Amino acid sequence: MTDNENASVTESPWSEWRSVTPARLALGRVGAGMPTDEVLRFGWAHAMARDAIHAALDVPKLEAALHAQGWTVAHIHSRASDRTTYLRRPDLGRMIDPDDIAKLRAAPIMPSDICIVIGDGLSSLAVDRHAISLLAALKPHLASELKQAPVIVATQARVAIADEIAELLQAKLSIMLVGERPGLSSPDSLGIYITHAPFRGRNDAGRNCISNVRPEGLSYAAAAFKLAWLAREALGRGLTGVGLKDESDLTLPEGDNAARLRGPETR
């Protein structure tokens, strides 16, 4: 922005709110238009969101990081053969590629309590930045007696693909980490979907969701705490979705640790 334009910017009376939110508000104006720096920031944010949707997930890097944490890992594809097909045919992103169905069926399968699926979704950037840190925060919360299926990395994946995966692996509960639809202030938001008794064709009303997992939103510690609580309650009560309300905040310890787990959105 030039000095002349800077002098002619009319500030918004809500400008102080900009210090507490990344949302695009109180932008000010220059005459009937927007300040140049705000126009440029909007273009940059739009480009980041578009890149997040189209960027390919670095599967070898993700698998290496998962192995380093001690997880057993497998990789599958959806029936969407490429990104263009994935975006145009959401239904194909919800189904496993037939060759990978055969691969999962051929592997030794032991019934398990939890199956974790990591899908690129609509933002591989979110998975790349946050999935490993979230799982590191989750591990201490998982009871040692829980039987865990291998972590499945699914590419060109929609949320519902976790139902078919968990059904094939005979898991009682599926946990899907997936890149959410990018926003202009959050191109890397990670979502979590928890589904009890998963099967292909499961209705979305049967899921619980935790969204906006990232340092600027819901912290890894807070998300892991909520996820572990929901997983325990789901397995104990035999349900997820509209019948299971997130009351994890009622079990938080007092003091600084409670504030840390609640995260910035509730402080």
Beta carbons within 8 Å of 195's beta carbon, 6+ residues apart: 162, 163, 166, 173, 174, 176, 202, 206, 207, 208, 240, 241
Stretches in the chain below the pLDDT threshold 70:
1-7, 253-267
Q: In angstroms, rounded to a whole number, what is the distance separating the alpha carbons of residues 123 and 141?
A: 26
Fold of 57-266: Rossmann fold (3.40.50)
Model's pTM, two decimal places?
A: 0.85
Hey, how many other C-beta atoms are within 10 angstroms of the C-beta on 100? 19
Q: CATH 3.40.50.11240 in the chain: give the residue spans.
A: 57-266
Pairing verdict, β 112-119 and 207-213: unpaired
